[in-house]
Amino acid sequence: MALDETHDPALESFVPTPEGTPFTIHNLPFGVFRPGPGFDARVGTRIGDTIVDLSVLEARGLFDGPELAGRDVFSKPRLNEFLALGRPAWREVRLALSRLLRRETPTLRDDESLREGALLPADRCEMLVPAEIGDYTDFYSSRHHATNVGVMFRGPDNALMPNWLHLPVAYHGRASSIVPSGTPIRRPCGRTLPAGTTTPVFGPSGLVDFELEVGFLVGPGTALGELVPVERAEEHIFGLVLVNDWSARDIQKWEYQPLGPFLSKNFATTVSPWVVTLEALEPFRTEGPVQDPQPLDYLRTAGNPSWDLPLTVALRTEKLDQPHVIAQSNFRHLYWNVRQQLAHHTVTGCNLRPGDLMASGTISGPEKHERGCLLELTWRGEEPLQLPGGEERTFLRDGDEVIITGTAARDGLRIGFGPCAGRIVPAAPLPAAS
């Protein structure tokens, strides 16, 4: 991909864009929303504090390029139909939106009835999960995170498992419990093994944690048995979302051998509702860590392509009026890049479907403040976080809200996702014995 007119720093929109908003005319993310109770869900983009109803623009024939003319993709309650069309269609729509929203373009600006139907206050709309996610895969692609966890449980000499530097490790997650930002997260119940005992007990998890992640949505699918070469992987990647793959560390510790996490990870995964496209991210291209040893041919890329995307985690407790920043990391810290993740996922012939979600795993950097979960930030609870007002945290308590944000800024351009937030609520009552 290359920069084009949609990346011009001089672009301005006739739609008000507050100072510091991540939703600039250079961003134009895609999401699914309801304008209000009783309305059908449909596809929109966001600029400033305004959601643009793309189904209205589509019905007026304003997407008339060769890739989208005559199609009906934005009145759907999901992005999947649009994702399936591929990059030429995505670029065509981005360019059309950019031109329609510019200060000097009268088509939407001067049509009062069209503006009233298409431009909606974001705070009156309900955001949904942006796609119908059939399959969800969670990678483990941060070397700093994997090393820290390995040191905790196996010691520094065996921190990384023998396979970790040779392939992108992952597990298949649960798609049905993926929820949009703002959805309350119920504390999970499960079996744990208390320290110093040999008999497991059942009850609410006492070690609920967040995980700072970024995921991508798959665009065009593939046939069963088809491999996606690493150099063509981005043809199948629509854009990125923020992800919080909540974890119950005590349940995980007891259940994860030999097959990995199960109940400790299936109770909820929060995603940001706005998908930032690779086109919007293009000005923020950078290099990730050097990969040594060199990957096998099917995983080998020119350098380690990534994006300079700063990420922030804030915690709001019931005693704090304002969220308190507890971690700051960056997407560029990932050792295994998204091209490698997708190519590895399909090397067996596993088929892709539009809307599949693949997440990065916890993103941690080399410094303590860059650790992407409480397990690392508090070093298994041995170093509690000190919060304003004298509170401490080792893991999350009921009422705690975790807010993940990601915003990139460079050379007059600013793009971001908005919040990926969730608040822990008490566990469901246990069923009475019969």
Give the tens place of pLDDT for each residue, 394-403. 999 999 999 9
Q: Which pLDDT score is estimated for 177?
A: 98
Helix, strand, or coil (residue 156): helix
Bond preceding residue 293 cis, omega within 30 of 0: yes
Give the tokens for residue 345. Answer: 């996922």
| pLDDT average, residue stretch 272-284 | 98
Q: Which pLDDT score is estimated for 125?
A: 98
Q: Which residues are CB-contacts of 19 (< 8 A; sequence separation ≥ 6)?
A: none
pLDDT reading at 384 higher than 80: yes
Q: Which pLDDT score is estimated for 257?
A: 87
pLDDT reading at 434 higher than 70: no
pLDDT reading at 423 higher than 80: yes
Residue 282 main-chain phi, psi, to 5 deg: -55, -40
Give the tens place of pLDDT for each residue, 212-251. 999 999 999 999 999 999 999 999 999 999 999 999 999 9
Q: Which pLDDT score is estimated for 259?
A: 87
pLDDT reading at 433 higher than 70: no
| pLDDT average, residue stretch 359-376 | 98
Range with the poorest average pLDDT among 20-29, 135-144, 253-262: 253-262
| pLDDT average, residue stretch 67-74 | 92
CB atoms within 10 A of CB 190: 22
Q: Which pLDDT score is estimated for 107?
A: 97
User: Of 7, 26, 144, 145, which is the active-site residue?
Assistant: 145
CA distance 308 to 123: 29
Q: Which pLDDT score is estimated for 1?
A: 76
* DSSP E strand boundaries for 73-168: 119-121, 126-128, 136-139
pLDDT reading at 192 higher than 90: yes
pLDDT reading at 432 higher than 80: no
5-128 has CATH 2.30.30.230 classification: yes
Q: How confident is the model at residue 431 (pLDDT cuts 50, 70, 90)?
A: confident
Asked if 387 contacts 314 with a C-beta cutoff of 8 angstroms, the reply is no
Average pLDDT, the chain: 96
CATH topology assigned to domain 136-425: Fumarylacetoacetate hydrolase; domain 2 (3.90.850)
Residue 43 main-chain phi, psi, to 5 deg: -95, 140
| pLDDT average, residue stretch 257-261 | 88
Look at the pTM and tell me if it is higher than 0.75. yes
Torsion angle in degrees (nearest 10) through CA of 54, 55, 58, 60: -110
Q: Which pLDDT score is estimated for 70?
A: 85
Give the tens place of pLDDT for each residue, 101-130. 999 999 999 999 999 999 999 999 999 999
Q: What percent of the chain has pLDDT over 90?
A: 95
CA distance 134 to 136: 7
From the list 141, 142, 139, the residue with the least C-alpha distance to 171 is: 139
Q: How confident is the model at residue 430 (pLDDT cuts 50, 70, 90)?
A: confident
What are the domain boundaries of the chain?
5-128, 136-425
| pLDDT average, residue stretch 136-146 | 98
Give the tens place of pLDDT for each residue, 342-365. 999 999 999 999 999 999 999 999
Check if 145 is active-site: yes
Asked if 181 contacts 422 with a C-beta cutoff of 8 angstroms, the reply is yes
